């Protein structure tokens, strides 16, 4: 399989970093997440979180939440019924990057985003994306960011240059939430996502840090 490998700008900094823990991984392999076309019941003119609908492909899976942002002026968004969410459709990709299922965004008529939980201790993210091989125009784009830093940003007909193959993305990151966003306005325009892996170190919650601080104070007092 032909593969294009894009590596983040900051990877060199990570050389020599100690081994990291897996904070999150997602290959979208649960068959109960499959379903029919997704019909957003929200207002396509208003930005909103997407909800899972019975009998339709899941757009939210554990650890990842879907969001819709309207175009200006607004279009129909996902209210017209679109192939988005978890899928096993291989008509575009041939085969998924990992396993038998992945996540798709297509004909979003607005911007659809898949956003992870916050991982303060994340140091590396990897995932695979596949851009359907068709024509793209100025309103179409794919962006991937973590902690507000862009890892991947391709707009308009540049998407045609990298379409039709799985692209492996691997980047050093500095914590935050992973945000994968797609804008497209035709049924043939689609983004497929698979094999998300976030690595780093677990950072204790603020409450636990406060307790550690108190323990430190107690230790110092005992030493006096
Ligand atoms: Ca998969
Ligand atoms: Ca649509
Ligand atoms: Ca388009």
CA of 152 to the centre of ligand 3 (A): 19
Does residue 212 register a pLDDT over 70? no
The mean pLDDT of 25-51, rounded to a whole number, is 98
CA of 69 to the centre of ligand 2 (A): 12
On whether the CB atoms of residues 103 and 65 are closer than 8 A, the answer is no
Give the pLDDT confidence score for residue 121 in this predicted structure: 97
CA of 206 to the centre of ligand 3 (A): 44
The CA-based dihedral angle spanning residues 28, 32, 37, 38, taken in that order and rounded to the nearest 10 degrees? -80
16 alpha-carbon distance from chain centroid: 27
Give the pLDDT confidence score for residue 149 in this predicted structure: 97
CATH 2.60.120 assigned to 3-223:
yes
On whether the CB atoms of residues 173 and 23 are closer than 8 A, the answer is no
Query: Which of 133, 89, 85 minimizes the C-alpha distance to 108?
Result: 85
On whether the CB atoms of residues 44 and 75 are closer than 8 A, the answer is yes
DSSP-based three-state secondary structure for 86: strand
Q: What are the structure tokens assigned to 210, written together? A: 């406060």
DSSP-based three-state secondary structure for 207: helix
Can you list the alpha helix ranges (DSSP code H) found in the chain? 206-223
Specify the pTM: 0.85
Give the burial class of 110: count Cβ atoms within 10 A of its Cβ; 0-12 exposed, 13-18 middle, 19 or more buried: buried
> Which one of the ligands is nearest to 130 CA?
1
What band does 96 get if pLDDT is binned at 50, 70 and 90?
Answer: very high
> Residue 88 CB: number of other CB atoms within 10 A?
15
On whether the CB atoms of residues 194 and 28 are closer than 8 A, the answer is yes
Does residue 215 register a pLDDT over 80? no
> Which one of the ligands is nearest to 75 CA?
2
**Distances from the Cα of 193 to the Cαs of 2, 29, 151, 202, in angstroms?**
17, 12, 15, 25
- CA triple 92-95-99, angle to 5 deg: 135
By residue count, the chain amounts to 224
Dihedral sign from CA coordinates of 203, 208, 212, 213: positive
- CA triple 172-174-175, angle to 5 deg: 120
Return the domain boundaries, the chain.
3-223
What band does 203 get if pLDDT is binned at 50, 70 and 90?
Answer: confident
CA of 78 to the centre of ligand 3 (A): 15
Distance CA 88, CA 46 (A): 30
CA of 153 to the centre of ligand 1 (A): 23
pLDDT in tens, 118-155: 999 999 999 999 999 999 999 999 999 999 999 999 99
> Which one of the ligands is nearest to 182 CA?
3
Does residue 12 register a pLDDT over 50? no
């Amino acid at each position: 399989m032909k593969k294009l490998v894009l590596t983040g700008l900051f990877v060199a900094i990570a050389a020599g970093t100690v081994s990291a823990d897996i904070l999150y991984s997602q290959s979208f392999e649960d068959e109960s997440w499959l379903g029919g076309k997704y019909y957003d019941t929200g207002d396509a003119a208003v930005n909103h979180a997407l909800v899972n609908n019975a009998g339709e492909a899941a757009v939210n899976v554990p650890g990842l939440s879907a969001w819709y942002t309207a175009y200006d002026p607004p279009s129909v968004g996902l209210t017209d019924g679109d192939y988005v969410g978890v899928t096993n459709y291989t008509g575009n990709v041939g085969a998924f990057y990992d396993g038998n299922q992945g996540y798709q965004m297509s004909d979003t008529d607005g911007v659809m985003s898949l956003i992870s939980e916050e991982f303060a201790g994340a140091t590396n993210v990897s995932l695979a994306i596949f851009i359907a091989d068709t024509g793209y125009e100025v309103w179409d784009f794919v962006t991937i960011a973590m902690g507000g830093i862009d890892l991947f940003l391709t707009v308009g007909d540049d998407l045609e240059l990298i379409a039709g193959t799985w692209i492996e993305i691997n980047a050093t990151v500095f914590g935050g939430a992973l945000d994968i966003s797609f804008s497209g306005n035709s049924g043939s325009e689609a983004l497929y996502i698979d094999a998300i892996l976030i690595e780093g170190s677990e950072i204790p919650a603020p409450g636990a840090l406060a307790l550690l601080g108190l323990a430190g104070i107690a230790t110092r007092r005992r030493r006096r």
